[in-house]
């Protein structure tokens, strides 16, 4: 999964989101040692400060932790990751449905559009 950043939202917020995704999907597994701030910044083509900012926020939420001079690691709390994954999914579904209903689509429309696009994507 490449780092895909747009300019319509703060970069650090997008970094948080993508790190969460990588952790919840298992790309960065339980207890995994993350690349260093500088390496992650290089990967994502952003300033180390910006990456550091994102990682600090992830740390506040408990999803990662850092050992001062050793590195940063994905949490070992399996349940926390599971709950985060659930939360993110609920948020996605909720926002999606809200917008589609606001746009004026109905249950059937939504399900059929979704089915069509799923066929394309999988």
Partner DNA sequence: ATCATTGTATTAAGGCCTTAATACAATGAT
Which positions lie near its own copies, rule CB under 8 A? Answer: 1, 8-10, 13, 21, 24-26, 85, 88-90, 92-105, 107, 110-111, 113-114, 117-118, 121-122
At residue 69, φ and ψ (nearest 5 deg) are: -115, 10
- DSSP SS3 for 76: coil
Instruction: Indicate the residue among 2 and 115 with the shorter CB distance to DNA.
Output: 2
Give me the least distance between CB of 105 and DNA, in Å please. Answer: 28
111 binds, among its own copies, DNA, none (CB under 5 to 8 A by kind): its own copies
Least distance CB 22 / DNA (angstroms)? 15
Which of residues 73 and 105 has its CB atom nearest to DNA in the complex?
Answer: 73
Least separation, in Å, of the C-beta of 46 and its own copies?
Answer: 18
Classify 47 as helix, strand or coil. coil
Neighbours of 108 (CB within 10 A): 8
9, burial (CB in 10 Å: exposed 0-12, middle 13-18, buried 19+)? exposed
| Residue 113 in tokens | 């559009």
Shortest separation between residue 67's beta carbon and its own copies, angstroms:
27
Q: Where are the beta strands (DSSP E) in 1-122?
A: 64-67, 71-74
Residue closer to its own copies, measured from CB, 31 or 71:
31
């Amino acid at each position: 999964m490449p780092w895909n950043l747009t300019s319509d939202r703060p970069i650090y917020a997008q970094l948080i989101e993508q790190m969460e995704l990588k952790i919840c999907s298992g790309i960065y597994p339980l207890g995994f040692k993350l690349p260093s701030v500088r390496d992650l910044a290089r990967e994502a083509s952003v300033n180390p400060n910006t990456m550091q900012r994102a990682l600090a926020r992830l740390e506040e939420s408990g999803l990662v932790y850092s050992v001062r001079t050793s590195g940063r690691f994905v949490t070992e709390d399996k349940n926390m990751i599971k709950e985060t994954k659930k939360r993110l999914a609920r948020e996605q579904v909720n926002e999606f449905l809200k917008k589609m209903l606001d746009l004026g689509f109905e249950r059937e429309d939504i399900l059929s559009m979704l089915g069509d696009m799923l066929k394309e994507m999988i």
